[in-house]
Structure 1
Amino acid sequence: MHHSKKLINSVEHCVDDALNGLVAWNVGMQLVEGYRIVVRSDLDNIKGKVAVLSGGGSGHEPTHAGYVGAGMLSGCIAGDVFTSPPTGNISAAIRAMARAGAAGVLLIFNNYTGDQLNFGLALEEMKIERISVEMITVGDDCAFTTQRKTGRRGLCGAILMLKIAGAMSEMGMSLDEIVLKLKSTLSKVGTLGICLSPCSVPGSKPTFNLEMDELELGMGIHGEIGIERIKIMSADEIIQKMIDHMTNPTNESHLRIQAGDHIVLIVNNLGGLSCLELNIVAGSAIKYLESKQVFIERAYVGSYTTSLEMGGTSLSMMHVDPELLKLLDMPTSAPGWANVSRRNLVRKCRTLSVPHLEPDHRDTPPGSGPFVDKVRSILDMVCTTLLQMEEELNELDREAGDGDCGSTHVRAAHAIKNLLASDAIPGYGHQILLCLGRLIRDHMGGTSGALYSIALMAAAPNVKNNNKPSAWALALDSAIGALKRYGGAEPGDRTMLDALCAAADELRKVSDEDGNELKVLAEAVQKAKAGSEATKDMIAKAGRASYISSAQLTRPDPGAVACAAILKCILTALEGSNPEDQA
């Protein structure tokens, strides 16, 4: 495999460019010239307080530089991608803090050999310079079931330590107090990751390869091996497997969690998981923990410690008491720390139940009489015709759209058939139009469903107190007006309007006195048919077809064809009923 695409200027400068960019958009931080060190802009506020420093390889953003800010890190030292920062930079950062008047410096970093060596060496150097420095190493990985000599890897749980230390420093606590607190808290946190797809260091091939149908459990944040590869399964199953492994007492690096425990949860995106999946994972984890009677005091969901573009997630859990919660809830200006609600999730009501959001239409009594009989025969014919035309309309739509125009119309036909079977046809024109509008809105779907509903709803008021032919002609005009307004199309754009407008122009000639309505309607149906045929030579300017080059469009528009067919059904049904009746 070749190395993956990256949006960078150059491999050798990508870390510096990223740090420059981060500092460019965050008022609260600045770079120390000549070093890869990011420090708070308000160094005056460090005077007399403990400076909290962290650092490590880059590629885990927002870890660590994204956590620089009031209430979190005083500064951070960045290494190359996935590479520990050199000792000289760490020492320089400590000296910068001492020069700003810090009352001691605390180094917090993840348990990796390179970081241990470089931070340890810097600490020894500082002792010689008589600067008061302490270090805390975080190892929160719950993957390996047997102890390793090197100890547990540091993963996303470390950011909780940075937050606690930063809050204590802000409160003016001493170096010893902070160290004591962190040491007692380290054993309360655990993290486990899973990986679906690898990442690649800028300029290199992916660090490993995973098959399409497998995921790795217990992956490290640099692509280090996990504990097992398993076949992909549902999110719920994966999350349960993760939490079971993390809390399994036979696993030497497990985190003890039992019913009644109070925890905070981090659902961390390792970099390449979509936000949609992350929310699914969060829901899954919360549901499973709650089913075990665990109290989730806070849930932090987002990208906290990433691994470039690795597709995957990690779950971190930490036991908390009111004191720790207070420290986690204290404000910070660090951009990487999400502004999470300071209330727990326990017994939170998650659904709003609101009966009767739909207006009640059942109060329309079914009508009877010659008018309703006509409506019934029209609708019956429309259904039959649309069912017959399904394949033809789908075929036309495959050329211009997504090939479902016929199926969409069939859904409408079935809904209307159910209405006919239920004997619930109202007795007035405007109620019939509203009833059809709602029916189509709820059952047809697609763009056509919305367009027909809008047209029917707009048409209805015209025939509220007037059932004369001219009122129905006006109703069609109102329908067309609404279609133009919301659909953004005009006649000539190759849409259903090309059939409807042609018919409407003809229908304006109807007069209520001389009973010419069937003759005019017959003429209008002819015009609609011609209008729909003419669309085959038009360039689509609206609707989905407008994204397709006109050279590929050689047949009429399915929407126009359907509208012409519906108008013809109306005519045929009306001709079939008593010709002496007023339409």
Structure 2
Amino acid sequence: MNHYMQACYVGQGMLSAAVAGSIFTSPPPQSILTGIRTIAKGNQGGCLVAVANYTGDRLNFGLAMERAKQEGIHLDSVTVGEDCAMASQDKTAGRRGLAGAILLFKIAGALAEEGRSLEEITQCAKDVASSMGTIGLALGPCSVPGTGPLFHIQEDEIELGLGVHGEAGVKRMKILTAKETVKLMIDHMINPANSTHLKLKSGDKVACMINNLGGLSVLEMNIVANEAITYLEEKEVLVDRAYCGSYITSLEMPGVSITLLHLTDTIKRCLDAPTNAPAWLTPYLPAGQTDRKTSTPIDPLYQPKQEEIESSAAVSPDEASHIYSILQNVCEQLVASEGHLNGLDSESGDGDCGSTIARGAQNIKKELLQKDSKGWPFNHPQGLSLAIGRIAENCMGGCSGGLYSLFFTSAAQAFQEEVSSQTFAKAMYQGIKAIQRYGGAEPGDRTMLDALHAAYTTFSSHLAQLSPPKDAFAAAVQAAEKGAEATTWMKAKAGRASYVSADLLTKPDPGATAVAIWLRAVLEKL
């Protein structure tokens, strides 16, 4: 093979020798012949030569093999050309050999370790070569050292169907999402209208290799792997083997190829056979498991049953309707404040606090406020508080999502036995303590706690003095607004703002301001 990385596939259970030429160039026949002699001279088992389907490789390896035969060396060959990019029916040089060659090396090497005959190994290798397909895609070019990029592509473009040496692809288009890109690649690979397509149907068992062409991160590769497996399983194709990593690169090209290989029991056994070739990456699987399976998704959130919620304290239908209108006003005010909160967050964070909180409010409207205002969960504050906490965790993201989920989940327990002004104060206390326990912040640290804690202490103090609940809550809202405004002059000791120079913090904390906004929205409907 002509690629420099293939020397890394020499080892027990894989290639016995690799012959490398200059970068992206076939090696000369004399070098190839030396490799054949080293392996096969005096070896009665013979030698299988695997050749990538490029004109230079076929010519130079062919010449070396003819000379080896004249020396009495027993050998055979297989040409690897599994590229599925070409759609034309016209005569061409044939399908290029791509990352699928690595799977063929592995299978042929395992059969050799089993002591199979050259004839058996050759036939199996040819069957493998005809049972797989590969499609490549690049977001940018590669370059031979010292020569610059081999081709040019715009930053907002991708190229489908290019080869590992920078050869042109079959289509160039605007960049897509990972999901759309994977769908494009696989659909092209299995499209019957293309002359080089791979046949694939529901129920087929395949190995899927996600190959890094050199310039993608592990994160990007895993995203592509997930999308590929998901899309294949949507087509009811069984992905029994999955490989993800840098198997055959194109120097530093930012791109990826997807290889699919139809599986038989023999092929699976050979893929699983041990090898000490350094570049072969095995899949991560539980001990004793070889066939990979996509697990059934597990919801990590505790979802109390409706009958459990209905055993908690309830309110009247009129009160449930009132709670509905309060929550509706809270959501509307938070959505309307998105730009203001983002502006406050731009100097102390990444400018998305308002968007994060607005996203939570929009999902509360979508999941809760479209329901009967007199029905579940508005007639059971415990269930409503748990539902809001679940939505915050699932939909908001970031620190805000975690903090609000902690607050409402912990607050819910206060409503188990009764619903009163005192239990609302108790709920605030429990929510605040949960934030302090897990978030590590304290009042005075320039966070949402500065508004929440001020509201709680004022509310509970007024209730203890037998003030009317509405008056007590009005005083609590004023305290929250003053607490939020006071963060302007505080030194940040927690959260992202604590990493920012104090000289740059000239506005109130966005988290504390958001608390003041939704408390004011509650008061407006009391």
Q: Identity, % of aligned pairs?
A: 39
Deviation at 1:169, TM superposition (A): 0.9
Alpha-carbon spacing, 1:83–1:489, altered in 2? closer, same or farther (3 Å) = farther
Q: Please tell me the residue identity of whatever aligns with 1:112.
A: Y
Indicate which of 404, 408, 411 corresponds to 2:362. Answer: 411
Q: Please tell me the residue identity of whatever aligns with 2:344.
A: L
Unaligned runs of 5+ in 2: none
Aligned equivalents of 1:231, 1:385: Cα separation in 2: 39
Q: Does 1:154 pair with 2:97?
A: yes
Alpha-carbon spacing, 1:420–1:527, altered in 2? closer, same or farther (3 Å) = farther
Check whether the contact 2:137–2:159 (CA below 8 A) recurs between aligned residues. Answer: yes
Query: Which residue of structure 1 lines up, in the alignment, with residue 315 of structure 2?
Result: 367
Query: Which residue of structure 1 lines up, in the alignment, with residue 508 of structure 2?
Result: 556
Deviation at 1:170, TM superposition (A): 0.8
Alpha-carbon spacing, 1:378–1:261, altered in 2? closer, same or farther (3 Å) = closer
Aligned equivalents of 1:380, 1:163: Cα separation in 2: 62
Query: Which residue of structure 1 lines up, in the alignment, with residue 48 of structure 2?
Result: 106
Indicate which of 12, 18, 27 corresponds to 1:76. Answer: 18
Alpha-carbon spacing, 1:562–1:73, altered in 2? closer, same or farther (3 Å) = same
Query: Which residue of structure 1 lines up, in the alignment, with residue 396 of structure 2?
Result: 445
Indicate which of 163, 174, 180 corresponds to 1:220. Answer: 163
Check whether the contact 2:141–2:254 (CA below 8 A) recurs between aligned residues. Answer: yes
Query: Which residue of structure 1 lines up, in the alignment, with residue 448 of structure 2?
Result: 496
Indicate which of 76, 79, 91 corresponds to 1:137. Answer: 79
Q: Does 1:198 pair with 2:141?
A: yes
- 1:144-165 deviation digits (Å, cap 9, x = unpaired): 63334x5543223323332232
Check whether the contact 2:382–2:413 (CA below 8 A) recurs between aligned residues. Answer: no
- 1:400-453 deviation digits (Å, cap 9, x = unpaired): 43142663575388479938961248899xx52552342353267344454234
Query: Which residue of structure 1 lines up, in the alignment, with residue 428 of structure 2?
Result: 476
Q: Which moved more, 1:368-377 or 1:530-539?
A: 368-377
Query: Which residue of structure 2 lines up, in the alignment, with residue 336 of structure 1?
Result: 280
Please give the residue correspondences for 1:161-240 in structure 2 after superposition, counting only pairs within 5 Å: 161-183=104-126, 186-211=129-154, 215-227=158-170, 229=172, 234-235=180-181, 236-240=183-187
Deviation at 1:199, TM superposition (A): 1.8
- 1:67-93 deviation digits (Å, cap 9, x = unpaired): 333322233334443233455654554
Aligned equivalents of 2:10, 2:249: Cα separation in 1: 17
Aligned equivalents of 2:451, 2:276: Cα separation in 1: 60
Q: Please tell me the residue identity of whatever aligns with 1:543.
A: G
Indicate which of 189, 201, 211 corresponds to 1:242. Answer: 189
Alpha-carbon spacing, 1:404–1:85, altered in 2? closer, same or farther (3 Å) = same
Check whether the contact 1:110–1:158 (CA below 8 A) recurs between aligned residues. Answer: yes
Query: Which residue of structure 2 lines up, in the alignment, with residue 456 of structure 1?
Result: 408
Please give the residue correspondences for 1:505-520 in structure 2 after superposition, counting only pairs within 5 Å: 505-506=457-458, 509=461, 512=464, 515-516=466-467
- 1:486-544 deviation digits (Å, cap 9, x = unpaired): 333222222111122334445564675x5257677666544433221111123434334
Query: Which residue of structure 2 lines up, in the alignment, with residue 528 of structure 1?
Result: 480
SS at match of 1:197: coil
Aligned equivalents of 1:395, 1:232: Cα separation in 2: 31
- 1:19-75 deviation digits (Å, cap 9, x = unpaired): xxxxxxxxxxxxxxxxxxxxxxxxxxxxxxxxxxxx4222xx4xx234333322233
Deviation at 1:465, TM superposition (A): 4.8
Q: Which moved more, 1:227-236 or 1:526-535?
A: 227-236
Q: Please tell me the residue identity of whatever aligns with 1:70.
A: Q
Q: Please tell me the residue identity of whatever aligns with 1:360.
A: K
The count of aligned residue pairs is 499
Deviation at 1:318, TM superposition (A): 5.2
Deviation at 1:269, TM superposition (A): 2.9
Check whether the contact 2:334–2:358 (CA below 8 A) recurs between aligned residues. Answer: no
Aligned equivalents of 1:392, 1:451: Cα separation in 2: 20
Alpha-carbon spacing, 1:388–1:205, altered in 2? closer, same or farther (3 Å) = closer
Q: Does 1:280 pair with 2:227?
A: yes
Q: Which moved more, 1:529-538 or 1:229-238?
A: 229-238
- 1:125-160 deviation digits (Å, cap 9, x = unpaired): 656876555444333345363334x55432233233
Check whether the contact 1:394–1:405 (CA below 8 A) recurs between aligned residues. Answer: no
Query: Which residue of structure 2 lines up, in the alignment, with residue 577 of structure 1?
Result: none
Q: Please tell me the residue identity of whatever aligns with 1:502.
A: A
Q: TM-score, normalised by structure 1?
A: 0.68
Q: Please tell me the residue identity of whatever aligns with 1:368.
A: S
Aligned equivalents of 1:70, 1:140: Cα separation in 2: 25
Q: TM-score, normalised by structure 2?
A: 0.74
- 1:239-295 deviation digits (Å, cap 9, x = unpaired): 3233226x64xx4xx46748699674544435246322343345445656x5xxxx7
Aligned equivalents of 1:465, 1:269: Cα separation in 2: 58
- CA-atom RMSD, angstroms? 4.7
Check whether the contact 1:440–1:453 (CA below 8 A) recurs between aligned residues. Answer: yes
Check whether the contact 2:12–2:276 (CA below 8 A) recurs between aligned residues. Answer: yes
Alpha-carbon spacing, 1:539–1:516, altered in 2? closer, same or farther (3 Å) = same
Alpha-carbon spacing, 1:168–1:573, altered in 2? closer, same or farther (3 Å) = closer
Indicate which of 344, 347, 355 corresponds to 1:396. Answer: 344
Aligned equivalents of 1:261, 1:480: Cα separation in 2: 53
Alpha-carbon spacing, 1:173–1:207, altered in 2? closer, same or farther (3 Å) = same
Q: Please tell me the residue identity of whatever aligns with 2:304.
A: P
SS at match of 2:305: coil
Q: Please tell me the residue identity of whatever aligns with 1:307.
A: S
Kindly name which structure, 1 or 2, has the bigger radius of gyration based on alpha carbons.
1
Alpha-carbon spacing, 1:284–1:416, altered in 2? closer, same or farther (3 Å) = closer
Deviation at 1:167, TM superposition (A): 1.8
Aligned equivalents of 1:572, 1:261: Cα separation in 2: 60
Aligned equivalents of 1:261, 1:369: Cα separation in 2: 53
Deviation at 1:455, TM superposition (A): 1.8
Aligned equivalents of 1:408, 1:184: Cα separation in 2: 53
Deviation at 1:379, TM superposition (A): 5.7
SS at match of 1:107: strand
Q: Which moved more, 1:169-178 or 1:499-508?
A: 499-508
Query: Which residue of structure 1 lines up, in the alignment, with residue 3 of structure 2?
Result: 57
Check whether the contact 1:534–1:556 (CA below 8 A) recurs between aligned residues. Answer: yes
Alpha-carbon spacing, 1:432–1:141, altered in 2? closer, same or farther (3 Å) = closer
Aligned equivalents of 1:259, 1:410: Cα separation in 2: 44
SS at match of 1:106: strand
Aligned equivalents of 2:270, 2:363: Cα separation in 1: 58
SS at match of 1:81: coil
SS at match of 2:191: helix
Q: Please tell me the residue identity of whatever aligns with 1:166.
A: G
Alpha-carbon spacing, 1:499–1:343, altered in 2? closer, same or farther (3 Å) = closer
Aligned equivalents of 2:306, 2:23: Cα separation in 1: 64
Check whether the contact 1:438–1:453 (CA below 8 A) recurs between aligned residues. Answer: no
Alpha-carbon spacing, 1:242–1:183, altered in 2? closer, same or farther (3 Å) = closer
